Structure 1
Amino acid sequence: MGGMAYTILVADDEPAIRTMLEVILSADGHDIVAVPDGKTALEFLKEHTPDAMLLDVKMPFMDGFEICSRVKRIKRLRDTPVLLLTGFDDDQTRDHAKLVGADDIVYKPLSGKNLRGRVNQLIEARRR
């Protein structure tokens, strides 16, 4: 695992999933910033530019779709890969994700190896 340590913002309202994502993604040496909701995610994004974001679709205050659509309208953040996390594998979810400009969708239950690969791939594609 050569490679850089990236900063990844994780937003999920379920503590168990946040912890799991931190464990999975920090295995590659990345710095994980985990927040419980969209409001906190946007506050973090005011001051920081992470290398990638993993946003749960269903969260209180503001869902992952809404955060993603806001992020993609901010010049500084526009190129940051956004992965949406959802338990729903259906056309409506996929269409909505495309509409808000998400770079990828990750379905629960999660496969750690698959997730790490996709996150690293998206970040590295942006870096070229």
Structure 2
Amino acid sequence: MKYIKYSVIKKSILTVFTICFWTPVFAYDPYECLSDVSSIDTKIPVGLATELCSGTWNKEPVNCYLGASLIDQEIPRGLAIKLCTGTVDAKKTLECYAKSGSKNLNRGLATTLCGKGQVNN
């Protein structure tokens, strides 16, 4: 009887931890990303918003996109999208981009260096 009670308590605790720690992973999807980015940038073309949000399951690309214009007020929208698409850590991506200015890299090279990047065939 004591073993059964302990087993039930253990399973209950594991269930609570699983729900608490795994739910945030699945709580954000590309459609929420589209909604968030369109509320931040009301004039963003749907194609660019879709590119930014494609396959994202966390809010980091949106956070990055928002922060990119704070670091570089003249960054073209397309480069901000390229920089932030697929990022899993907005802070590191933006720190890298900001550091590129001290290395005399133009915006395009800084985006290539610091963004997740895509292989073009």
- TM bucket (normalised to shorter chain) is under 0.3
After TM superposition, the score normalised by the length of structure 1 is: 0.26
The higher radius of gyration belongs to 2
Q: TM-score, structure 2 length as denominator?
A: 0.27
